[in-house]
Structure formats: C-alpha cells, structure tokens
Structure 1
C-alpha cells in the first residue's frame, strides 16, 4: 500500500452488532458528491460476505485514484450484492441535497438482491424499517461502508469525466464539480451549465444577480 493508506483500519464492529441479532445481510451505504456545485450526488450500497473475512477496503477519500479503482473492482467481485444510484441536479434542486441523497440511497437499497436485513451508513439517518447504525466517519471504520464509499466515489468520478466531455471548459474531470478556483473562473467565463445545482447558494446567488456575466436562470426573451 502507498503512503496514502490511512492509519485507521476498518473492521466489522458495527456489522457485528447486527449479526448478534440475527441480521447477517448488512448493507453498507455511502455517498459521494454532496458538497459539489455540479453533477449528481452518488450513493452506493454494498453487502459484503462478512464474519471473519478481512478486506483491503478503506475510506475512498484516503486513497489514490489508482487504489480506488483497484479496490472498487474488488468490491464488485466479492460483494453479495451492490448497487449505485445517482440523484441529478434537478432532483437535488427539487428535494434539497439531503432529501436527494436519501432518495438515491433508498433506490440503491431497493436494487440489492438479496435484500439487506440491516444497514450501516456514514451518518446518513435514513427513514427505513430496517435496523440502522449511522455512526459518523463510518467509511473509515466499517468494511461495508468503506466498500460503498469506493463504489460511490469511482462511479461519480467517471460520471464527472463524461460531463467534462459534454460540457467542456468547466474542468469537471479535474475538480469533479466542487468549488475550486478553476471552477469559479469557468463559471465567470461560461455561465451556468445544465448540470449545475441552481439551488446551491454560490450558483443561486450568481444566477439570480447575473454577476460576472453569468447567464440568468430565466434569460429575458427578445
């Protein structure tokens, strides 16, 4: 492993609490892109074979891009079930970012086959009838959530690279839609694209005021 490998090693502590109650198909859930200004928020759900197995999976934020791709492929290979869902800017603008994240998470969980019996999430307190553990920083502590973080991050990165080709000039492949200086500069020059989240304050303020030559949300006719 490279020097980017985090010191904290995930384990099965949160899953084990569910196993003790007879819930052996525990899905880990995590998201990527909640704070971005553009593109989807992406949620993954993963059920791993557990019990005594150890995995190399780690919180995706603490790994290099190459490590993430390698481990994500391993997640897809070993998982009992996995699914990834996106909530796009129109859904985010309609529901707000938390509501859209919850909706995407529930869609991902509904696609798991076999279905989960319990959940561990990274502080995502879903409305569900399933037993739920939602500790903070679970992506660094739980193998299942770490696996979900790998899928969510790599799938979203791939989407943002695709959006970079569809909407050139914004630098989506580099900053993945977050508020980097290059992204701010591109907004000043190009205006707001169809994949920007207009409900997010930095985008909303600029579009409503028309500052910096940005296109307004509803350009005047004529």
Structure 2
C-alpha cells in the first residue's frame, strides 16, 4: 500500500469524528514526526469538542427542567451595562430550540470580542426568536439603574416575535405574566441566558462604537462607557456628554 503523504493524512484527519476510525490506528503506527504531531492535534481537538459538549449539556439543566414541566418557548434573559458611566442598559431575550447546540456558548464576560461576534451570528441563525430592550441614560437617571434594568428586560420580552411560556432570568425577578425562574450567575449556568448575554453584549458594544463617532474624545469604542482612567480623564477635561448618566458618581460632581 502506498504511504500517504503528510498532507493526505492531514486532510483525512479533518474528516474523522469517531475515535474508532481505522485510519487512527494506521496513523498511530506511522513513525513520522509530522504524522504524530497531526494525530496529537486531532486528539486534543477531539477532547475539547467532548468537553464543550459536556459543558453545554450541564448548562441545559434549567431548560430541561422547564421542558419536563411542559414549557416549550423558554426565553433566557440577561442584561449588560449596569455599571458604565455612559450609554444605555441593554437586555436580550433569546428562545432557543430544544435540539439546539451552539459549541462554545458561555457567559459573554468569559469570551473575547471575536468569539462573542462569532457566537452572536450562530445564535441569530439558530434562535427561534430574539428580543432586544434598550433603556437610555436619561431614563436610567430618572428611574435608577435597577428599575432601568428590569424595564430593559421587559422590553426585550415584548420585542420577541414569538410569545414565551417560561422565563429564565439572570439574577433578577420580574414578576411578569409568565412563569419565571431567577438564576444566580445564570449566564454561566443556562444556555438560554448565556445566549442572551452574548446578544446583549454585542448589541451594546456596537451601539457604543457608534457613540464613539459622535463623541470621540471619550473613547467609547474602547471603554464602552465604563470608568476607565482614560474615560475619567476625558470627563474631567470635557465634562459629561449627552449619553453620560448624570446620577452616577463621578458625573454628579461634574455638573
């Protein structure tokens, strides 16, 4: 039998999904260093795939519990933007199908920007429905950040184009017309809430980058409105702008 080239081995490994594939046994007996390196890389990737699958399944426990109780349109809800000095608070509500698998789905805070953008597209493709709720800085100043957070979540639910029958909410109780469960660290423990956290984060980051074009001196494209030193220095130099939260320290002392 003609010995396969390194490139041919690489091409075959890219198609193998089963640990019992006979090609793997053949490659294990190949003494070439290049083949063994490719095999080790395949094995590492396979182990990561299985770990990602197991992690995803563990994050399905709240959704599975709700489905056993007879609920089908389960909306995960999360917000981003409670802490910044500028910009809106943004919430997302996401309903995923029961058989959905989005590899790498996790709390948006644990992901880098590129991974969030990648998962954002996967979620948009697979979700049954996505709703977004935005409450701007003026409203935040009028009703306080906690009430603004709840309002943004309620708006996200209203903006779903499919009515939910159960809500999984990250650490907030809405007491809405729907049955709900509030989950501490829900974005790390529920796939629906994790999906909502990514949608909310990417949506708000894109909004802040647009605000940067209007107010470049505050560097909103980098700090997203959070109180970084460069942002605080800009506030000291220029004062607050339209999208700053006037009731938040240190903005209050500047006006």
TM over 0.5: yes
| 1:81 to 2:129 alignment | yes
Following superposition, the deviation at residue 124 of structure 1 comes to 1.5
How large is the Cα RMSD of the aligned pairs? 1.8
User: 1-side partners of 2:143 and 2:246: how far apart?
Assistant: 12
Higher helix fraction (1 or 2): 2
User: 1-side partners of 2:133 and 2:100: how far apart?
Assistant: 27
| 1:143 to 2:191 alignment | yes
| Structure 1 residues 62-107: Cα deviation after superposition (integer angstroms, max 9, x where no partner) | 1110000010011111000001121100110111001111111111
User: 2-side partners of 1:107 and 1:28: how far apart?
Assistant: 14
User: 1-side partners of 2:100 and 2:234: how far apart?
Assistant: 47
Point out where structure 1 has 5 or more consecutive residues left out of the alignment. 208-215, 217-222
1:9 to 55, 69, 72: 55
User: 1-side partners of 2:187 and 2:153: how far apart?
Assistant: 15
Following superposition, the deviation at residue 33 of structure 1 comes to 0.8
Following superposition, the deviation at residue 15 of structure 1 comes to 1.3
Q: Is the 8 A contact 1:9 1:140 kept in 2?
A: no
Which structure 2 residues correspond to residues 121-200 of structure 1 after superposition, within 5 A?
121-200=169-248
Following superposition, the deviation at residue 164 of structure 1 comes to 0.6
User: 1-side partners of 2:82 and 2:111: how far apart?
Assistant: 19
Following superposition, the deviation at residue 135 of structure 1 comes to 1.1
Q: Is the 8 A contact 1:9 1:58 kept in 2?
A: no
Secondary structure in 2 matching 1:133: strand
User: 1-side partners of 2:55 and 2:170: how far apart?
Assistant: 15
User: 1-side partners of 2:204 and 2:123: how far apart?
Assistant: 16
Which residue does the alignment assign to 1:22? 70
Which residue does the alignment assign to 1:54? 101
User: 2-side partners of 1:189 and 1:156: how far apart?
Assistant: 25
| 1:108 to 2:149 alignment | no
Q: Is the 8 A contact 1:9 1:141 kept in 2?
A: no
Q: Is the 8 A contact 2:86 2:225 kept in 1?
A: yes
User: 1-side partners of 2:201 and 2:241: how far apart?
Assistant: 22
Secondary structure in 1 matching 2:109: helix
Point out where structure 2 has 5 or more consecutive residues left out of the alignment. 1-44
User: 2-side partners of 1:185 and 1:95: how far apart?
Assistant: 27
If the length of structure 2 is used for normalisation, what is the TM-score? 0.76
Secondary structure in 2 matching 1:178: coil
Higher relative contact order (CA 8 A, sep 6+): 1
| 1:120 to 2:120 alignment | no
2:90 to 32, 42, 45: 42
Secondary structure in 2 matching 1:67: helix
Secondary structure in 2 matching 1:156: helix
